[in-house]
Amino acid sequence: MKAYRADHLLLDAGWLSPGYLAVTADGLIAAAGAAPIARAEGIAGYVLPGMPNLHSHAFHRGLVGWADRLAPGQAVETLWSWRETMYRFMLALEPEDMEALAAQAYLDMVRGGFTSVAEFHYVHHQPDGRPYANLAEMSERIVAAARAVGIGLTLAPVLYAAGGIGTPPQEDQRRFLLDLDGYLALVETMRRHGTVAIAPHSLRAVPAQLLLGLLAAAPEGPVHIHAAERTEEVEECRAGLGAAPVEWLLANAGLDQRWTLVHATHITDAERAGLARAGAVAGLCPLTEANLGDGRFRLRGYRRDGGRFGIGSDANTLISVADELRMLEYGQRLHHRQRNVVVAPGEEATESPGRVLFDAARRGGAQALAQPVGAIAAGRRADLVVLDPEAPALLGQTERTALDAWVISGGMAGASPVRDVMVAGRWVVRDRRHEAEEKIRERFVAVMRRHHS
């Protein structure tokens, strides 16, 4: 058992200054509170629960800087044109490349304040589309990368079977494709490695009857799906299924607390209210949604409906808890032309939009990952993030304002306040350094040079 005394410790009930916690040998929190614990190691700064990252495509980390230019003769770029660039990159990746890209993405995550991640993983086969001798080859590379970094992982192997509603898969999608039996075999194999979510890619990529068959075959555990990211997707679902994506899922799929609907950007008032009533999580990826020009989630109304949400780094173009929350907050401010629009009735007493956003995202993320994370409390995993009070953004702050300062000004002067990070009781980042970062960086750079030369 290890004991810690934090200058400032954030519990569900609020800040303790100081606060104490005890961590078991297997990385769980045994106790957390105001009662002093003998021989406790001091932690200077603001100690927060680690943030779960509910949606990642790790290999997209290798597209940063390489996917933001118009092609010759191309007047407009959207998700669909960006996707073609992504496919070309993906089709050349070998298993060791996938592991190197994922390790760099996960290193960036822990340094940015994420301590666990749901990896929405859909590259299953060899570049020519044939299965590897080990069907789980690419999935196990994701697991290896997460272990090398020390980040918690919920693996979400993706079921992908169509190129659109009533449309066969494209040739460029050959690495993704599995039938139901093959998919269930992959899921069962990966359960040996930890928490697994089932992940039908979307209603465009998984025919309705196949989705219902999957749900019947896997009636328990988390379910992740892309839904209503683009207006084109909504229109295609209305034409092909007679309902918009979230409308169809509410009517046919039995949405409940198992579910995470990633994006859910283009939804009606009725869909928004239904999603909230179901207790599902809206998986918001503000930086990626802005990068791709997807649109803005209707967060204020959703929170007033009692809806749950979490955040994900998705395409991993910029990986930071504070940056995701800042983009989420600022997008709402720009749309409503008001400040502090995310706080729902009954939350005004916190006087802290940063705290409201952070708390909601950590709770929704923990639900989405189906892991005992997202809070500093007995029985939860000891995933901690320590903010440096000497970082430029936090100079002169107190526990009352620290989360607002981090969310609004977290990267001031190029210095992230995230100083130390613990996952499952083990420090994976100390003084902003990870013990394996040089090795991880070397492998990542080698992949980038090989594929972008």
Catalytic residue among 314, 359, 383, 420: 314
CA nearest neighbour of 91 among 55, 125, 139, 135: 125
Burial class (CB in 10 A: 0-12, 13-18, 19+), 377: middle
Active-site option among 55, 57, 121, 263: 263
Angle at CA of residue 437, ends 190 and 416, nearest 5° = 105
Is the distance from CB of 169 to CB of 130 less than 8 angstroms? no
- 57 included as an active-site residue: no
Say if residue 18 is preceded by a cis peptide, omega within 30 of 0: yes
Q: Which two tokens stand for residue 21?
A: 């916690």
Q: Is residue 27 within 8 Å of 381, Cβ to Cβ?
A: yes
Count CA atoms within 13 Å of residue 184 on its CB side: 12
> Distance between CA atoms of 318 and 315, rounded to whole angstroms?
8
- Name the helix (H) or strand (E) containing 121: strand 114-121
Residue 431 catalytic? no
The candidate with the shortest Cα–Cα distance to 221, out of 249, 184, 247, 246, is 184
23, burial (CB in 10 Å: exposed 0-12, middle 13-18, buried 19+):
buried
User: What one-character-per-residue DSSP string does 81-118 give?
Assistant: HHHHHHHHHHTT--HHHHHHHHHHHHHHHHHTTEEEEE
Backbone CA torsion sign across 260, 282, 319, 396: negative
Pairwise CA distance, residues 151 & 36, whole Å: 29
Q: Which residues are catalytic?
A: 263, 314
